[in-house]
Copies of this chain bind each other. A is one copy, B any other.
Amino acid sequence: MPVPKKLEAVAHPGKGAAHPARPQTSDLFERLRLDILHCRLRPGSRLLFKDLRKQYGSGLSPLREALMRLVADGLVALEVNKGFRVAPVSREELIDIANTLFELEAIAIRLAIEKGDDRWEGNIVARFHELSKRSMFTSGGTLDEEWQARNVAFHEALYAACGSPLLLLFCRAVSERYSRYRRLWDQQAEPSRNVAREHEQILSAVIARETDAALSLLKKHRSRTTTGILNHWVEPA
């Protein structure tokens, strides 16, 4: 007679739903992280345990743990004995993040171009293809989430072969924080820009192993997005 297996964790119960299986701390971390990155939790807003507990259906300890990890990731700010807040945003930080992201990616791409093999190239082409199949904005005029994900995947593929796990980790961490800023203001399409073409040019330069050209193109690409965000900036109340 088959013995009942262990319980499978249910992923993301709806916000008000009960919690049949006790949510693991890692789940909680992921959920909070996504809620911050997707700006469902607004920058600077307080994170009250009372509310969080109700919202995420969890006890104090797992919440505290998850928040602590987010503090280390720079997504949550902590003042001792005064509680947690969603990390605030500022023009200065956006600029810092954007510059640092470019510098880190520049290193990684340089290394990847040195070391990358055919498999690496193939992966870039695949990610580019997937990205090109999707349009940047939804019919409603907001940024398409799936496009966002594929965009990140494409950029990561460019330097996946850099050979440094640590560097990849940093790139991802900064890229995440950058994407939060992008989502903050659902920037409208800028007709003067052809993002797909920019991606294609970067792809070509990387595959051709033309490091300087690739980095120059990437820099322009990134800085266009960044100034786009800065132009639509509205001071957070």
Q: Which of B7, B68, B100 is in CB contact (< 8 Å) with A69?
A: B68
| A102 (CB) vs chain B CBs: closest residue | B107
- Complex Cα spacing A167 to B100, Å: 6
Identical copies in the complex: 2
A71 at the interface (CB under 8 A from B): yes
Contact mask A61-81 → B, CB, 8 Å, 1/0?
100110011011100000010
Contact residues on A (Cβ < 8 Å of other chain), bracket: 20 to 34
Best-surrounded residue of A99, A103, A174 (most CB of chain B within 10 A): A103
| A166 (CB) vs chain B CBs: closest residue | B100
| A6 (CB) vs chain B CBs: closest residue | B80
A230 at the interface (CB under 8 A from B): no
- Complex Cα spacing A166 to B174, Å: 9
A114 at the interface (CB under 8 A from B): no
- Complex Cα spacing A152 to B81, Å: 32
| Seed contacts A24-B80, A99-B164; 16 additional CB < 8 Å A-B pairs | A5-B80, A7-B80, A25-B80, A26-B80, A65-B65, A65-B68, A68-B72, A69-B71, A72-B72, A72-B73, A96-B164, A100-B166, A100-B170, A103-B107, A103-B167, A170-B170
